[in-house]
């Protein structure tokens, strides 16, 4: 049985260029976007965190600049993005403001989610926006990304962002209502698949190629996004976004494909921290901190007695209380800065370091304790 949209607490919506931009008329699909904003506002009003990964900057920019159809040179794409990002951000801000919702623009590149220090910065900014009940609108920073480092499609970008913020659902709006046993445009006998419990080689083989010059993706990239999302504890939906109020259509049981995960974001993240990262140093904690950690608390500087090793902010470190390994975590300070604030209350961090750092040496969400 498929899950219900109402059961998810943090949802990422990916909106593609072909849905946002009416290429034939050279303008935005304003009525469609206004209807989607209604859907977002409805979900938001129920207390759900909503983040949008929006394509469309290059498509909008090439329309404004009068660039011809067909492939663009890299510098033309970047120029189009520079113009389009302004229009895209303004549009999202306006349609969400109509419902009393603040939008925040976040531009990212591949390295922002691959390099841990920048990953933590992007994650902290995004989570703060969500905490303040804003809707972050994320796009690949096409003005500076090059062909060697770019995602190449916003499906995988959306999956990376969803895992970064611990979203429990990713919705990929497309021009098709889910996965079929074969591309339905070329095979009339293709059958719709409502639920994918695990992405197998057979499932991957069902994906076709890219379908639109406005998008760089296709079903293949959506399956890749599904692999990223489900491995990190995030369910995923592929749904037809062309209808008015496409999110409401999903909520009402409209046809789509669910990709299920056996895990959840918190568990998957802790598994990653515990087993996939090589520790760069060690934090030795006192007995009080050890007890607090076992009770579910974050590790504060006041509870750290000694720092060992050379590490940077965002690196994995081992947490010990003498001879016993308590677990691993992503540290919020470089080793040199950590050494200066150990044993001190968090309120003194700014006076010691000269800036208001984070209160936690290792936040509980960035920590995996040993059994």
Answer yes or no: is 305 within a domain. Answer: yes
Is 55 annotated among the ligand-binding residues?
yes
- Say what angle helices 265-275 and 154-164 make with each other, to 10 degrees: 90
Tell whether 255 and 290 lie within a shared domain.
no
- Domain count along the chain: 2
Tell whether 242 and 315 lie within a shared domain.
no
Answer yes or no: is 156 within a domain. Answer: yes
Answer yes or no: is 271 within a domain. Answer: no
Answer yes or no: is 155 within a domain. Answer: yes
Tell whether 297 and 189 lie within a shared domain.
no
Is 77 annotated among the ligand-binding residues?
no
- Final residue in a domain of this structure, among 239, 265, 291: 265
| Cα 43 from Cα 9, distance rounded (Å) | 10
- Scanning the structure block, which residue is given the tokens 């902290």? 124
Domain CATH for 133: 3.40.1160.10
Tell whether 117 and 237 lie within a shared domain.
yes
Tell whether 183 and 282 lie within a shared domain.
no
Domain CATH for 288: 2.30.130.10
Is 227 annotated among the ligand-binding residues?
no
Tell whether 100 and 180 lie within a shared domain.
yes
Tell whether 254 and 365 lie within a shared domain.
no
Is 93 annotated among the ligand-binding residues?
no
166 to 214, 271, 299, 328: CA distances (angstroms): 29, 13, 20, 19
- Final residue in a domain of this structure, among 243, 265, 287: 265
Tell whether 218 and 149 lie within a shared domain.
yes
Answer yes or no: is 359 within a domain. Answer: yes
- Identify whether the C-beta of residue 254 lies closer than 8 Å to the C-beta of residue 47: no
- Residue-level pLDDT, tens digit, the chain, 371 residues: 678 898 999 999 999 888 888 766 667 888 999 999 999 999 999 999 999 999 888 888 888 888 887 888 888 888 888 898 898 899 999 999 999 999 999 988 766 776 767 777 888 899 999 999 999 999 877 666 554 435 556 888 899 899 889 999 999 998 889 999 988 878 889 999 999 999 988 888 887 544 443 344 478 889 989 998 998 899 999 999 999 999 999 999 999 999 999 888 888 888 778 776 789 999 999 999 999 999 999 999 999 999 999 999 988 999 999 889 999 999 999 999 999 999 999 999 999 999 988 999 999 988 999 87
Is 14 annotated among the ligand-binding residues?
yes
Tell whether 116 and 214 lie within a shared domain.
yes
Answer yes or no: is 20 within a domain. Answer: yes
Q: What is the pTM of this model?
A: 0.81
- Identify whether the C-beta of residue 337 lies closer than 8 Å to the C-beta of residue 292: no
- Final residue in a domain of this structure, among 265, 293, 319: 265
Answer yes or no: is 270 within a domain. Answer: no
Tell whether 255 and 331 lie within a shared domain.
no
Tell whether 259 and 317 lie within a shared domain.
no
Quote the domain boundaries for residue 307. Answer: 277-369
- Identify whether the C-beta of residue 321 lies closer than 8 Å to the C-beta of residue 285: yes
Answer yes or no: is 272 within a domain. Answer: no
Tell whether 146 and 17 lie within a shared domain.
yes
């Amino acid at each position: 049985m498929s899950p219900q949209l109402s059961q998810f607490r943090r949802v990422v919506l990916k909106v593609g260029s072909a849905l946002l931009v009416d290429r034939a008329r050279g303008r935005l699909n304003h009525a469609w976007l206004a209807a989607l904003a209604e859907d977002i506002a409805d979900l938001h009003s129920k207390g759900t965190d909503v983040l949008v990964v929006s394509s469309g900057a290059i498509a909008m920019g090439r329309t404004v600049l009068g660039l011809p159809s067909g492939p663009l040179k890299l510098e033309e794409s970047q120029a189009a993005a520079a113009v389009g990002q302004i229009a895209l951000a303004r549009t999202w801000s306006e349609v969400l403001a109509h419902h009393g919702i603040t939008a925040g623009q976040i531009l990212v590149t591949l390295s922002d989610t691959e390099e841990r220090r920048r990953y933590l910065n992007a994650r902290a900014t995004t989570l703060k926006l969500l905490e303040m009940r804003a809707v972050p609108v994320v796009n690949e920073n096409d003005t500076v990304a090059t062909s060697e480092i770019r995602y190449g499609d916003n499906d995988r970008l959306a999956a990376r962002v969803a895992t970064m913020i611990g979203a429990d659902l990713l919705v990929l709006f497309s021009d098709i209502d889910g996965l079929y046993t074969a591309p339905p445009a070329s095979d009339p006998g293709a059958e719709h698949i409502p639920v994918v419990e695990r992405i197998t080689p057979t499932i991957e083989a069902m994906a076709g190629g890219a379908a639109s010059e406005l998008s760089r993706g296709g079903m293949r990239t959506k399956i890749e996004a599904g692999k990223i999302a489900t491995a990190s504890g995030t369910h995923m939906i592929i749904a037809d976004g062309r209808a008015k109020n496409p999110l409401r259509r999903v909520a009402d049981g409209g046809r789509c494909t669910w990709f299920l995960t056996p895990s959840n974001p918190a568990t998957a993240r802790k598994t990653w921290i515990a087993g996939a990262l090589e520790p760069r140093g060690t934090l030795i904690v006192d007995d009080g901190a050890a007890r607090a950690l076992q009770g579910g608390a974050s590790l504060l500087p006041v509870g750290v007695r000694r720092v060992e090793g050379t590490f940077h902010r965002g690196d994995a470190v081992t947490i010990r209380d003498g001879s016993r390994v308590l677990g691993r975590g992503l540290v919020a300070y470089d080793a040199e800065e950590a050494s200066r604030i150990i044993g001190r209350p968090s309120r003194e961090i700014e006076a010691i370091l000269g800036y208001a750092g984070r209160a936690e040496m290792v936040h509980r969400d960035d920590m995996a304790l040993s059994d």
